[in-house]
Structure 1
Amino acid sequence: MGNKDTQIQAADLNQLQQIGEFGVNELMTMKETIGKDLSIPQFNLFMYQCNRMGLDPALKHAFPILYGGKLDSRVSYEGLLSLAKKSDGYQGVFNQVVCENEIESFEAETDDEGVIVKIYHKVKFPRGKVVAAYSIAKREGHKPVIVLMDVMEVQKLLKGQNQKFWKMDDGSPDPDMFKKHVGFRSIKAQYDIASVVEDNMESLNATEGSSSTEPQRRDITSEATEIPSTKPGEDAPQETKAEDEGAKIKALKVQMKQNYTKLGITEMKEKEEHMGEFCKIKGETPTLAEITAYLKIMDLQIQEKQAAEQANDDLPL
């Protein structure tokens, strides 16, 4: 049975394309996490798009979404910022929130056309609830682009299906999400990255179903993790199975800790409540299968959070 599973895995692995500088293990990990809902051809296309744009999915620069079975690749704030840093004249992007206790010391200066040209902001503690956010994108040889948004402008995000990722416990916007939201807009306005991405859309979409522009495929099964040497039909010793399962559970628990961080869950009580709600355990301790199922749920929640960060400013690749 184990030999058959290995053959299936090897056959699937052989369809993966070596794209960019990613190693085999990295590609396999990304396929099982970021691209777990994609077919292998869709995953290859997503990786090709990212490589062409100079984006790294492992750094959350981009993520895939399936709409009706069709692949739609999205650029995150981190991805857009990475592209901005590669632009000529990059001098930084500065994002900040304005809180209710800072209103009296905040002022935005505009020119004759109503464009914001200068921000005066004095931070005070305690700051209070978030009421606005602004971003300043600076570029050599260009005027700074300043984007200012009142909290009312993101109310639809606070009420959307991903509102749990946007809201703090007091109901106000999450400062990090709000800063990314305005930062997304200032970067697009200052560095013309939106047009660069859009210019590539047509050619990238044309690669679907066509192999003329795709990288050369090569067999990478030989580079995969070495398979235990047992004879066909022969099961591994019981001690080895127990050791392997224990090692896998230990590795998955490390992944759980990383996922908690990505979800913004830091307190032990919160972790216990989250696990109690989403990890169904039959015995006293979770099994390998139960932890694996729990991680899949966490991965979906992380993807939802990433999608929420994009709001309406997502850029298609």
Structure 2
Amino acid sequence: MANNQLAVYQGLAFGELTQQDVVTIRETIGKDCNESQFKLFMAISKSAGANPILNEIYPTVRQNQLTIQFGVDFYVRKAKETDGYLGYDVQLVHENDQFKMHQEKDEDGRYYMVIDEHSFGFPRGKVIGGYAFAYKKGLKPFTVTMEVDEVEHFKRSQIGMQKTMWTNYFNDMFKKHMVRRALKAAFDLNFDDEEVSEGKGADGVPEYNPRERKDITPNQEVIDQPQPDPVDPEAEKLEAAKAEMKAKFKKLGVTTKKAMQEYIAKNAPNIGDKPALADVIGLNELLDMHIELQEAHSDDDDSLE
């Protein structure tokens, strides 16, 4: 790696990340960012303490706008770091289980759920629902309860891999879905879809302002570029969706054109050579589900060590 390329990203490394790691991030998940957006992404990663190498955070560029997204592992880690964190629990309810729960109100007038009974033997039968508890000191457990009907649309998906994962790995996917929702609500982990302000702090680093929603304006180096001719809005959306698709493929470890073609041929064979916007959006949803499954299996492997 040329020394001048390393010098460009000097100061962006933090924590366990080296300058070489920053270059690697730039060439992989950050390849769709312009220089200003990438530096902003790294500044936000540093401010949040999220490691891009560990898939805790990644950038998405849509119609020249930068969106920062945080991975599932980051939600779990941040919940564990929160004061009062006491863990979480998730269970599935099967059709042969003896299950009963009710709602109560605490002294502050807030409702919470109480499990009266959940006993079972074998065979348990099909899964019909589930629940997840997020525990925080000083508060009643935050509960997410769901019936299978609420996620059945994943199993009926017309996209090959999405349908396969929710059909063949339904229990794992359902539990992870509920845990994510419980942790986000209980610990206020609203990282996704957050945007940042255009201003810079006293040290010249863009400020990280959670929950503010502002457009990300390119710096001078981008403004000085020739302005492109007007583009059809649908075409812009399609190009943005394709760029997002490539980033998701890389996150899965699918990095060559041939491997991408084989993945699509196997899991979404009806897309064709000239996919419409809806086809690409559907494929991106499929990739998200495959990424979730890969992370879930990684978590399972870690628990066996």
TM-score range relative to shorter protein: 0.5 to 0.7
**What is the CA distance between 1:92 and its match in structure 2?**
0.3
The aligned residue for residue 7 of structure 2 is 14
TM superposition score normalised by structure 1: 0.56
Partner Cα separation in structure 1 for residue 118 and residue 260 of structure 2: 42
Structure 1 spans left out of the alignment, 5+ residues = 1-5, 216-257, 263-273, 281-298, 310-317
Q: Does 1:35 align with 2:27?
A: no
Give the distance between the partners of 1:99 and 1:163, measured in 2 at CA: 26
Deviation at 1:36, TM superposition (A): 3.1
Distance 1:99-1:25 versus aligned 2 partners, 3 A rule: farther
Matched, 1:212 2:240: no
Post-superposition Cα deviations, 1:101-140, rounded to whole Å, max 9, x if no partner, equal 43xx222222268642236333544555433232111111
Of 123, 127, 133, 1:130 maps to 127
| Correspondence for 2:176 | 180
Distance 2:122 2:147 in 1: 20
Between 1:15-24 and 1:138-147, the stretch displaced more is 15-24
Q: Distance in 2 between matches of 1:67 and 1:307?
A: 22
- Listed as ranges, the gaps of 5+ residues in structure 2 are 208-250, 266-283, 295-305
Tell me the SS of whatever aligns to 1:111. Answer: strand
Contact 1:116/1:147 (8 A) holds in 2: no
TM-score normalised to the size of structure 2?
0.58
Instruction: Report whether the alignment pairs 1:24 with 2:25.
Output: no
CA RMSD of aligned residues (A): 4.3
Classify the secondary structure of the residue corresponding to 1:14.
Answer: helix
Which has the higher mean CA deviation after the structures are superposed, 156-165 or 178-187?
156-165
Are the structure 2 counterparts of residues 54 and 276 from structure 1 closer, same or farther at C-alpha, using a change threshold of 3 Å? closer
What is the CA–CA distance in structure 1 between the aligned matches of 2:65 and 2:129, rounded to whole Å?
A: 36
2:99 aligns to what? 106
Letter in 2 for 1:137: A
User: Which protein has greater RCO, CA pairs closer than 8 Å, 6+ apart?
Assistant: 1
1:66-102 per-position Cα deviation (integer Å, ceiling 9, x unaligned) = 2212111112322112111111111002223333443
Between the two proteins, the alignment pairs up a number of residues equal to 224
Counterpart Cα distance in 1 of 2:116 and 2:34: 48
1:148 to 137, 145, 149: 145
Deviations 1:196-226 (A, max 9, x none): x59x956x33258x983349xxxxxxxxxxx
1:49 counterpart residue number: 44
For 1:18, the aligned partner's letter is: L
Residue aligning to 2:262 = 277
Letter of the aligned partner of 2:86 in structure 1?
Q
Distance 1:37 1:173 in 2: 32
Distance 2:163 2:264 in 1: 24
1:106·1:121 contact (CA, 8 Å) conserved in 2?
A: yes
8 A contact 1:145–1:190 mirrored in 2: yes
Identity of aligned residues (%): 28
Higher helix share: 1
